[in-house]
Amino acid sequence: MTDAFITIGSDGLSASIHPMGAELWSIRDADGRELMTDADPRWWTGHAPLLFPFVGRSRGDVYRFEGGDYPMAQHGFARRKGFALVERSGDAATFRLEADEETRAVYPFDFRLDVHFAAEGRTLRMTATVANRGVDDMPFSFGYHPAFAWPLPYGGTAEEHRVLFEKAEAAPIRKVGAEPGLIALEPVASPVEGDRLTPTHAMFEGDALIWDRLESRSLFWGVPGRTGLKIDFPDTPWLGLWQKPGAHYLCVEPWAGMADPVGFEGDVWAKQGIMRLAPGEERRFRMDVGITG
């Protein structure tokens, strides 16, 4: 593993990825304007961690499998592991994480996680591929967690920024409950008006907003009528929005998986959103971030 950033680019944008966690740190447009978080340490120094092998928190930071208890940090271990750079060109790079002695101690499965980044015009395409290289079915979930600038550098105030969903989102949403990091049992009314969310810092005083009955697989982030970001996530059915109130970013988090609900005591296969990957199979999750307008 190299410790240096890997930068790729096209005529429309550039992106820098750190091999630790294969974490996207920067997207800049053709004029060099930064579109991601300023990572101000007063709030959160993360940029875009990958959530694997589980999204969110397991109750007590432990999950159960075949009668045993296994420790698991919130959002899994991939974000704290060094990825190998296995392919690189001027406009693309692929990073790989494979099971090792350390991962097997907490996640006894022979996995491989490849993350491919490609710059195409004014769009950054990201594809994560999870493969089961073992002999038993493998439980897992996966999510993206990128933090985009709020406000974006295209004019307009932070208060004028909107999330415009692909479709109307009338269904109730979920929030974090009384147990830190776990999902409250009762949903709450959606803050979306039609297809439009007007985010405020106060919305996130109770942690993330979570859509588990999501109709959309695409959204716009920015000031309507100005240049902004079109974010597509065709392979992930759920979405989280999060920030530390007052910070200069909004995390747009497509998820295939979710934290445990308050009071959960079940086996890993009963965790909400857990996918079952048979030996020799793989599953892909794509997220595209495009500059639009």
Q: In which band, very low, low, confident or very high, does the pLDDT at 3 lie, cut at 50, 70 and 90?
A: low
Burial (0-12, 13-18, 19+ Cβ within 10 Å), 36: buried
pLDDT, one tens digit per residue, over 190-237 is 999 999 999 999 999 999 999 999 999 999 999 999 999 999 999 999
For residues 168 and 215, the answer to whether their CB atoms sit within 8 Å is yes
Residue 1, pLDDT above cutoff 80: no
The structure tokens listed for 247 are 């910070």
Q: Any idea which residue has 């309507």 for tokens?
A: 224
Residue 252, pLDDT above cutoff 90: yes
Residue 97, pLDDT above cutoff 90: yes
- Provide long-range contacts, Cβ within 8 A and 24+ apart, for 187-195: 192/165, 192/168, 194/168, 195/164, 195/165, 195/166, 195/167, 195/168, 195/169
Kindly report the average pLDDT of the chain as a whole number: 97
Average confidence (pLDDT) over 254-270: 97
pLDDT at 7: 98
Average confidence (pLDDT) over 266-290: 97
Residues making up the chain, counted from first to last: 293
Q: In which band, very low, low, confident or very high, does the pLDDT at 123 lie, cut at 50, 70 and 90?
A: very high
Q: In which band, very low, low, confident or very high, does the pLDDT at 143 lie, cut at 50, 70 and 90?
A: very high
pTM comes to 0.97
pLDDT at 131: 98
User: Is the four-CA dihedral 221, 197, 145, 147 of positive or negative sign?
Assistant: positive
Domains and CATH numbers, the chain: 6-292 (2.70.98.10)
* Sequence-ordered list of residues with C-beta below 8 angstroms from that of 101, at least 6 positions apart, any chain: none
Pairwise CA distance, residues 97 & 213, whole Å: 31
Burial (0-12, 13-18, 19+ Cβ within 10 Å), 120: middle
Residue 2, pLDDT above cutoff 70: no
Pairwise CA distance, residues 218 & 143, whole Å: 15
